[in-house]
Amino acid sequence: MLQDWEKTSAERIAAIWTPPGNWKLGGTWFWWFWLFFIHDRHTLKTGKCRQIMILWSIKKDDEIKCNTLDIKIPLQIEKLKNGWKLNGAAAAWYFDGQEMHEDIVLEKSAMHLDFEKSKLIAPGKTPSEFYLDGDEFVTRIKTDEISFELRAMKTDPHPDVGPNYGRSRYPMGMEIEATRIEILRLTGTETIFDGTKQPITGTAYFQKVLVAAPPPQWYWGIYHFSDGSYFSYMLPYFGKAMLADNLWKGAGLSMPMLPINPDIMLYHAPSGRFFIGHEIEVKPTRIIETDLWKHSIRGGSGEFQVETEAEAYAHGCWKFVKNIGMLPVKSAFKYNEYPATVKKLVLTLKSGEKITLENGWGNMENSWGFIV
């Protein structure tokens, strides 16, 4: 993805609370996405932790279904005097350490985006909001059973921690645009239905993304380590997985057939060094005992190589179903997320130097199917 180094960090943060600049192509997708990794006393030894994902999004489709929610919204963006009204959906899942609670938030919402106040409000039965409070990004979620106030703050000034902005343009007006903050310190509180509160600590990841193109299949992961390092990979591709849940039921994931602009990144916080490459191999393997997945990952560049294995311990899924034009058939796309760990990662430099990171906590994704 093309990088834009002209914007300052403050300008990139301010731009988080702006609507999509490109809203011409049918099927365009736009979202804000947070992953919160909530530590317990075992996290630093095992990499396992509780996790919350929340996403606010709009999609340029008159009608689409996500899990059990039918979304019929002909007008997604409306200009207001003090911002924008975004007619879309809010969604969240919560892994409580034992059980995955999918769709703790899943509802249509007329979201209010206020650029001047750096705030997004999503009203509804399970209201949520996301705003800037000084140097902290604050996310609030309220359900009947539990509520969260999650405060994420960037504490490492290294530019490759973020906010990073990139944009890739393709033929026929298609493009992908993203802003990411790779690792933030997490604090906050959770409150259960009887009013009992307990503090939260951990780390967080953020992205704001515009996809003005048919989404391909992909493998993705983000992992944080106790020394402040992070590891991430993204491998979009076209392959036979696009036919899963369309021409045949279920998914038999395999090695990617046609990779598209892959990236592999590692930031080593103790030395302040950042490594990025575009050679990556992801081998998915189903874990029979849990029916989850492992990603065996190798990649890098001519200057370094990374080798590791990520293993999932829980699973959340959004299934999207959409009509194909006027045809009496539908297309299906599954976006699978997995709380996961990296037990050991080895970075080998061209010089022979090796760096080892252990017990990383994070999330990995598989996607399959297609949606147009």
pLDDT of residue 202: 98
pLDDT of residue 254: 56
335-348, pLDDT tens digit by residue?
A: 899 999 999 999 99
Highest mean pLDDT: which range of 2-6, 293-297, 317-321, 365-369? 293-297
Lowest average pLDDT, out of 6-15, 71-80, 170-179, 322-331, goes to: 322-331
Q: Measuring CA to CA, which residue among 150, 225, 245, 222 is closest to residue 190?
A: 150
pLDDT of residue 323: 77
136, pLDDT greater than 70: yes
d(CA 213, CA 1): 14
153-178, pLDDT tens digit by residue?
A: 999 999 999 999 888 877 877 888 89
C-alpha distance from residue 310 to each of 96, 219, 313, 340, 364 (Å): 20, 12, 10, 6, 8
Mean pLDDT for the stretch of residues 84-113: 95
**Start-to-end CA span in the chain (Å):** 22
Does this model's pTM top 0.75? Answer: yes
201-213, pLDDT tens digit by residue?
A: 999 999 999 988 8
91, pLDDT greater than 60: yes
- List the domains of the chain with CATH numbers: 1-213 (2.40.370.10), 216-372 (2.40.370)
Model confidence band, residue 240 (pLDDT cutoffs 50, 70, 90): low
239, pLDDT greater than 80: no
111, pLDDT greater than 60: yes
Listed in sequence order, the residues at least 6 apart from 47 whose beta carbon sits closer than 8 Å to its beta carbon are 341, 342, 343, 359, 360, 361, 362
Q: Indicate the burial class of 363 (C-beta count within 10 angstroms; 0-12, 13-18, 19 or more).
A: buried
Model confidence band, residue 2 (pLDDT cutoffs 50, 70, 90): very low
Lowest average pLDDT, out of 48-57, 97-106, 233-242, goes to: 233-242
4, pLDDT greater than 60: no
Partnered with residue 365 across adjacent β-strands are 220, 337
pLDDT of residue 214: 75
